[in-house]
Amino acid sequence: MFDSGGLSIKLGDFSDMKTDMTGSAIVYGTLKLLEHFNVKGHFIGLLPIVENMVDANSTRPGDILKAYNGKTVEITDTDAEGRLIMADALAYAKNYNPYLCIDIATLTGQAAKIFGSKSGVVMGNNNKLTQDIISVGNKNKERLWELPMWEEYVELTKSKIADYKNLSYGVSAGTIMAGAFLSNFVPEKANWLHLDIAGPAYNEGMPYGYTPVGGTGIALRSLVALAQSAAIS
């Protein structure tokens, strides 16, 4: 919901953090449209909705949390909270024996620095499905660009005092590292796509194309089109 950064509080103007609910809004909107268009299939949306506010019960840097799948996570930065709740949602998806898990969020500021407002990031473990979502995105004027998630990045998510750490200081590939962290929680044998839409999720300029001022709903059309296609049948 609103991302204050927690005890690792953000600096400067972060009034736009109300848009941190964008990923959940897109998942909800996707399900509503799949229902509206009577798309055949078995679709489940998981919305891990929380506030990241400071109080006496706030998570502290140095704390160790246990995730839904039983793995432990060292909290190195409370502002990397989005990936914690997304990790639990991905782990929880195991209960549905999914063929494909797609997570989507305004996850890292670095994603916006890479592409600005013109493209989101996609990472995953299935090259065909990755190319499918990129192709569908291009047709719907919702650009996505693939970043690598090599095993060397995943290794850097490991902690000396827990299974993983939620942010790896000293590793500059922040957008990739967020996806690498989440990869540890994907249900076994499930295909997976990770969409980081921090850049194009909010438009502060003039309207262009399909894009209004404010929240853009980026990737909503593409997710619905992917569900309608044979790509995930």
pLDDT > 80? residue 94: yes
Q: What are phi and psi of 86, to 5 degrees?
A: -70, -35
Strand partners, 145: 121
| Strand ranges in the chain using DSSP code E only, listed in sequence order | 64-66, 72-74, 100-105, 120-124, 144-146, 164-165, 191-196, 202-203, 214-215
Is 141 tagged catalytic? no
Q: In the block, which residue shows the tokens 């620095």? A: 113
Reduced DSSP (H G I as helix, E B as strand, rest coil) percent helix, strand, coil of the chain, to 5: 35, 15, 50
**153 or 231, greater pLDDT:** 153
pLDDT tier, 20 (very low <50, low <70, confident <90, very high otherwise): confident
Residue 164 makes CB contacts below 8 A (sequence gap 6+) with 71, 72, 73, 74, 157, 158, 181, 184
Residue 13 makes CB contacts below 8 A (sequence gap 6+) with none
pLDDT of res. 230: 61
Instruction: Report the SS3 class of residue 40.
Output: coil
pLDDT tier, 108 (very low <50, low <70, confident <90, very high otherwise): very high
pLDDT > 70? residue 233: no
Of 122-126, 141-145, 179-183, 213-217, least confident by mean pLDDT is 213-217
CA 95 from centre of chain = 20
pLDDT tier, 199 (very low <50, low <70, confident <90, very high otherwise): very high
pLDDT of res. 232: 52
**226 or 209, greater pLDDT:** 226
For residues 44 and 100, what is the distance between their CA atoms, to the nearest angstrom? 11
Are residues 83 and 166 in contact, defined by beta-carbon separation less than 8 angstroms?
yes
Residue 150 makes CB contacts below 8 A (sequence gap 6+) with none
Regarding pTM above 0.85, the answer is yes
Question: Domain segments of the chain: what residues?
Answer: 15-48+60-232
Strand partners, 203: 214
pLDDT > 70? residue 231: no
- CATH number for region 15-48+60-232: 3.40.630.10
For residues 137 and 145, what is the distance between their CA atoms, to the nearest angstrom? 10
Is 83 tagged catalytic? yes
Active-site option among 83, 143, 165, 221:
83
Give the pLDDT mean for 110-134: 95
Structure tokens at 94: 């195991």
**Average pLDDT, rounded, for the chain:** 93
Strand partners, 144: 120
- Indicate the DSSP class of residue 187: P
Q: What is the pLDDT of residues 148-179, one digit of tens each?
A: 999 999 999 999 999 999 999 888 899 999 99
Q: What b/e sequence results for 130-146 when a residue is b if at least 16 CB atoms lie within 10 Å of its CB, and e otherwise? A: bebbbbbbeebebbbee
pLDDT tier, 107 (very low <50, low <70, confident <90, very high otherwise): very high
